[in-house]
């Protein structure tokens, strides 16, 4: 079979008709059921295998290491000099405020206010106050969310605490980004294993370093609190850093069911979530605080931290405290109200700190009040540091894969392939089912037209995901020599329907599908396609992974983004699970009589090209054909963590060593590592073939 025929069959030219109104009810229902199933599976894993105090203590360090990794903090960054600087002070009768900045990493600036009581005779306990999303900006000047929450720092200082209130990345004086996937479509953050939650966690750790450097602070009496986003960051630092002796996260955590099934993820930016490689439910983060005193605080009508999920989180967290004989050190505080910083929430938090850090249970007599104007608390009065990295920290916070030597021998290439396969399974595709369900391949219908038959088959990719593929071949073919598989994206699917509706559209084989609004201009392209099938012992196969074609879900840009984020929260990625679907389709094809003995050739374009490449690492095929395969991880299919371990170029080399590989329509100089590897192995232009070049834009 020539590659000319492969190109015609797999990448047949058709007509694109733009965005079509399609029925998504089937896909929406499938996806809702799938999210329910996967959430339940994660819930069922909580504390699996842990029944005693000893079990927990043995497992805890592993959990902490996993959390560090999921926040992009593995290995932990070097504790470089903070280069702390006080840029100004503000006086109150009872306390002084220092406007400070420090660098948690070179060029990563943290701005904050340090509140210091004037009356002190000994080192004082200190509170790290982490701010939520309370923007304070006038014109082009961002004063930081520390200004919005400064009444908390004032209260702590008036009651005998040193308090460091720090800005967050997005709403600080130097404005970074929290909403990468939410607002900007930066799903390449997944590839990098990057989440702004990791930046916030690291900034909190370094803030503790700063507090311990101050002569006014008793470094053994440190607490943390914050609300909303600050509540979440309180969890991260309390879980990672044993220096935190008391924690009061306010409206900062709920469980996976609220986020994924109930949809509260749609009200949160990326800073609230880890890259969930190890598929945790959020109570496990809370449990890492045990047995240190923990007060979970929330209102009863919080739309983004619903009370049912908060209560479930508390109950599960308390299980660990009970194992450690510390049930009296964890409590749930609920007041009436919406997602708002209320006086009632603050009073109980203040009393909790007083009890555990000062041994004082007196009534709270001094309310939290605001005393200052935004300009009073501003750190950078004139200009921002030229070396700041805040605005683009997502590009460098998590290290990219290191360069590797081009494999010179077949043994070195085999070693690279094994390394790629094993590492991706462990760190990227960990959510793939460990025990595959029965494929349950079943024929749905046959349709006949002009000497061809098109058969539709359904198969089960995993629990809750049933997909369909179409096989087209001449009517008298019983045993194909070749199977040509096209992995379709949504545009491919619309083109497929338009291409075949005149020939097969009135038959049972396509009766359930929603056709594009416009018919093709003619069947000239179909006729060329038909003639190839009539002359060759070949079957053409159309495969649509989940979310494409008949299982497409809500096509609005907002829902497309938020559904991808749900996969991400579950420790999956949409792209990763679509690769699983491609693998299962290949396995299902081997169970269909006409294709059982066929040599399999698989193709895809753009996004689908990457699905083809990754699937070919785990399934045996004869050849793959990829058009417009993205070389940059910023344009490639989003997959958890992949760029931490390998570049797309390295993965292409590993894939190409397994079968004949055609790469089409790419820049002339792209994939230099793969080219060098193929040349060293002696199969450039034979096993690895680069066809038409795409001009560099």
Least confident of 253-267, 281-295, 464-478, 518-532: 518-532
Please confirm whether the linkage preceding 49 is cis (ω < 30° from 0).
no
pLDDT in the model for residue 351: 95
Q: What is the structure's pLDDT at 4?
A: 39
Here the contacts of 46-51 (C-beta below 8 Å, separation 24 or greater) are 46/281, 46/283, 46/284, 46/316, 47/284, 47/316, 47/319, 47/320, 50/323
Find the helix packing angle between 196-213 and 229-240, rounded to 10°: 70
Whether the per-residue pLDDT at 19 is higher than 50: the answer is no
Q: Name the nearest CA neighbour of 525 among 549, 568, 495.
A: 495
Q: Look at residue 208 and give its three-state secondary structure.
A: helix
Over the stretch 625-641, which tens digit does the pLDDT of each residue have?
A: 999 999 999 999 999 99
Q: Is the pLDDT of residue 487 over 90?
A: yes
Phi/psi at 183 (5° precision): -110, -25
Q: State what percent of residues in the chain have pLDDT above 90.
A: 87
Name the band, by pLDDT with cuts 50, 70 and 90, for residue 285.
very high
Tell which wins on pLDDT, 499 or 168.
168
CB 637, CB 645: distance < 8 Å: no
Confidence tier at 3 by pLDDT (50, 70, 90):
very low
Residues 6 or more apart whose Cβ sits within 8 Å of residue 359: none
How confident is the model over 327-380, as pLDDT tens digits?
Answer: 999 999 999 999 999 888 999 999 999 999 999 999 888 878 899 999 999 999
DSSP string, 212-238: HHSTTEEEEEEEEEEETHHHHHHHHHH
- 656 pLDDT exceeds 80? yes
For residue 64, list its beta bridge partners. Answer: none
pLDDT for 695 equals 63
Question: pTM for this one?
Answer: 0.94
Buried b or exposed e, range 446-456, using 16+ CB within 10 angstroms: ebebeebbbbb
Say if residues 77 and 69 touch (Cβ distance below 8 Å). no
- Please identify which residue in the block is written with the tokens 């106050």: 129
Contact 265, 569 (CB under 8 A): yes
Average of per-residue pLDDT values in the chain:
93
CB 610 within 8 A of CB 642: no
Q: How far is the C-alpha of 50 from the C-alpha of 248, rounded, in Å?
A: 26
Q: Among 608, 616, 626, which residue's Cα sits nearest to residue 664? A: 626
- In the CATH scheme, what is the homologous superfamily, with its name and number, of domain 64-395? Alpha/Beta hydrolase fold, catalytic domain (3.40.50.1820)
Calpha distance 96→669 (Å, rounded) = 60
Neighbours of 119 (CB within 10 A): 8
Quote the pLDDT of residue 13: 33
- In the structure encoding, which two tokens stand for residue 598, read together? 């066929």
Q: Which residues contact 419 (CB under 8 A, 6 or more apart)?
A: none
Quick: pLDDT tens for 210-231.
Answer: 999 999 999 999 999 999 999 9
Residue 514 is predicted with a pLDDT of 63
CA distance 291 to 2: 67
Residue 52 has pLDDT above 90, yes or no: yes
pLDDT tens track for 510-556: 767 765 554 444 445 778 888 989 999 999 999 999 999 999 999 99
Angle (nearest 5°) at CA 354 between 353 and 358 = 110
The residues, ordered by sequence, that sit 6+ positions from 35 with a Cβ below 8 Å of its Cβ are 260, 261, 566, 570
Same CATH fold, 426-690 and 64-395? yes
CATH label, 426-690, candidates 3.40.50.80, 3.40.50.1820, 3.40.50.620, 3.30.230.70: 3.40.50.1820
pLDDT in tens, 605-617: 999 999 999 999 9
pLDDT at 350: 94
Domain boundaries, the chain: 64-395, 426-690
């Amino acid at each position: 079979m020539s590659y000319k025929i492969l190109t015609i069959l797999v990448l047949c030219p058709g007509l694109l008709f733009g965005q079509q109104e399609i029925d998504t009810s089937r896909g929406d229902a499938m996806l809702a059921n799938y999210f329910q199933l996967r959430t339940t599976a994660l819930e069922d894993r909580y504390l699996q295998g842990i029944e005693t105090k000893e079990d927990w203590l043995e497992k805890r360090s592993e959990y902490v290491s996993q959390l560090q990794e999921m926040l992009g903090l593995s290995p932990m960054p070097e504790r470089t000099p903070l280069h702390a600087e006080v840029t100004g002070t503000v006086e109150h009768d009872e306390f002084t405020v220092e406007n400070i900045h420090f660098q948690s990493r070179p060029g990563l600036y943290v701005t904050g206010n340090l509140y210091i009581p004037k009356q002190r005779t000994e080192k004082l306990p200190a509170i790290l106050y982490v701010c939520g999303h309370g923007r304070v900006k006038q014109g082009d000047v961002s004063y930081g969310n520390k200004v919005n929450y400064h009444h908390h720092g004032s209260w702590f200082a008036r009651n005998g605490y040193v308090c460091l209130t720090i800005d967050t990345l997005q709403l600080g004086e130097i404005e970074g980004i929290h909403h990468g996937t939410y607002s900007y479509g930066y799903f390449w953050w997944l590839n990098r294993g990057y989440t702004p939650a990791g930046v916030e966690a690291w900034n909190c750790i370094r803030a503790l370093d700063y507090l311990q450097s101050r002569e006014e602070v008793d470094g053994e009496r440190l607490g943390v609190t914050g609300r909303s986003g600050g509540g979440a960051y309180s969890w991260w630092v309390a879980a990672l850093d044993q220096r935190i002796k008391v924690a009061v996260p306010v409206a900062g955590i709920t469980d996976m069911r609220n986020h994924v099934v109930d949809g509260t993820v749609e009200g949160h930016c990326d800073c609230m979530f880890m890259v969930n490689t190890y598929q945790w439910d959020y109570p496990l983060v809370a449990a890492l605080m045990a047995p240190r005193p923990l007060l979970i605080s929330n209102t009863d009508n919080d739309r983004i931290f619903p009370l049912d999920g908060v209560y479930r989180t508390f109950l599960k967290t308390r299980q660990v405290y009970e194992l450690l004989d510390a049930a009296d050190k964890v409590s749930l505080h609920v007041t009436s109200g919406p997602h708002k910083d209320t006086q009632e929430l603050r009073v109980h938090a203040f009393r909790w700190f007083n009890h555990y850090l000062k041994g004082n249970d007196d009534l709270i007599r001094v309310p939290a009040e605001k005393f200052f104007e935004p300009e009073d608390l501003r750190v950078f009065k004139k200009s921002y540091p030229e070396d700041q990295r805040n605005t683009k920290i997502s590009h460098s916070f998590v290290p990219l894969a290191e360069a590797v030597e081009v494999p010179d021998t077949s043994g070195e290439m085999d070693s690279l392939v094994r390394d790629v396969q094993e590492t991706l399974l462990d760190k990227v595709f960990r959510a793939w089912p460990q025990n595959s369900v029965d494929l349950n391949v079943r024929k749905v219908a046959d349709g006949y037209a002009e000497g061809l038959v098109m058969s539709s088959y359904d198969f089960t990719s995993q629990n809750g995901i049933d997909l369909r593929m179409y096989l087209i071949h001449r009517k008298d073919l019983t045993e194909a020599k070749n199977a040509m598989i096209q992995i379709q994206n949504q545009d491919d699917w619309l083109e497929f329907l338009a291409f075949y509706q005149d020939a097969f559209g009135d038959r049972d084989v396509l009766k359930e599908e929603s056709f594009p609004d416009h018919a093709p201009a003619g069947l000239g392209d179909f006729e060329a396609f038909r003639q190839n099938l009539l002359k060759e012992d070949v079957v053409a196969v159309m495969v649509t992974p989940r979310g494409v074609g008949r299982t497409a879900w809500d096509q609005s840009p907002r829902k497309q983004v938020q559904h991808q984020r749900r996969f991400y929260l579950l420790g999956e990625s949409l792209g990763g699970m679509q690769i699983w679907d491609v693998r299962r389709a290949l396995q299902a094809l081997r169970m269909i009589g006409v294709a059982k003995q066929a040599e399999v050739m698989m193709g895809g374009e753009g996004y689908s090209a990457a699905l083809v490449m990754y699937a070919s690492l785990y399934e045996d095929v004869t050849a793959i054909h990829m058009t417009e395969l993205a070389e940059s991880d910023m344009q490639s299919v989003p997959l958890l963590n992949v760029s931490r371990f390998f570049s797309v170029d390295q993965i292409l080399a590993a894939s190409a060593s397994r079968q004949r590989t055609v790469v089409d329509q790419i820049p002339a100089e792209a994939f230099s590592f793969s080219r060098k590897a193929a040349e060293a192995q002696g199969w450039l232009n034979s096993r690895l073939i680069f066809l038409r070049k795409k001009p560099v834009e």
